[in-house]
Amino acid sequence: MLIEQCAYSNSWRLVSPAAKGLFAACGIVAAFLATSPRATIIPAGIMLAATVLGARVPLRHYLKVALPELVFLAMGVATLAVSVSWDGHIRFHMAGQPELHNIARICGRSLCSITSLLFFCLTTPMSDIIALLRRLGFPEVFLDIMTLGYRTIFVFLEAIHDTTTAQAARLGYATPRLAMRSLGILTANLTMQVWQRSHALHLAALARNNDGPLRFLGGEFRHPERNVCVAAIGGCLLMVLALTGI
């Protein structure tokens, strides 16, 4: 929900998704072209600045969305940098200097890739992303599954909200025992709704003979060609900075 809120309310909402996707892709390429850990931090900082300062995505929202990815990255770096052995006692071993350099480069590449993907996700609604993928020639079956999955997420979030609100109004979470009972009822209710809605989608697909993809009206964007050119120039600069490490 927070990602969609940022995607629809940022200052670059009407910028062509092709331009934003191209710039994000260049950021990912720059992450792998970087020759040193310091060189990966530069594109990552530019991506962060473009999202927060350029697109006006609130920093607190950005950090909330990025927190799970950063925690996962920190755990991965910790497992690479520190090894554990057992010889009657638990012993911790720190990686050597060459290994630490490689770990820092992997961490920098991951961080740059994360900021690039967050730039694209936080500035582009899913409907625009699906329309862009369709223009790029992605399989229609894949896009239909994305569309249905995207819609289903909000349907079940609304169902969870309505059910928990009704349960809370009846003091269903007043005690731990009641909370466990309410959680069980919520799980059973959602399981039944998943089955019913899946069956309804199956019947709807049969009614239209599974003929043709799901189509939606596309958005209108200001100066798409100019935006793509600017994104291409900016992406090239990112890759140059990554290669030179300036």
Dump pLDDT digits (tens) for 66-105: 999 899 988 888 888 877 777 767 777 777 777 888 888 8
Reported as half-sphere exposure (CB side, CA atoms, 13 A), residue 187 has a value of 6
Single-letter amino acid code for the residue at 95: A
Contact 12, 123 (CB under 8 A): yes
CA distance 230 to 80: 39
Helices (H), strands (E): how many in the chain? 9, 2
- In whole numbers, what is the pLDDT of the chain averaged over residues? 83
Dump pLDDT digits (tens) for 107-132: 888 999 999 999 999 998 888 888 88
Contact 55, 11 (CB under 8 A): yes
Q: Is the pLDDT of residue 225 over 90?
A: no
CA distance 246 to 242: 8
Domain ranges of the chain: 2-124+221-244, 138-207
Contact 242, 34 (CB under 8 A): yes
pTM assigned to the model: 0.79
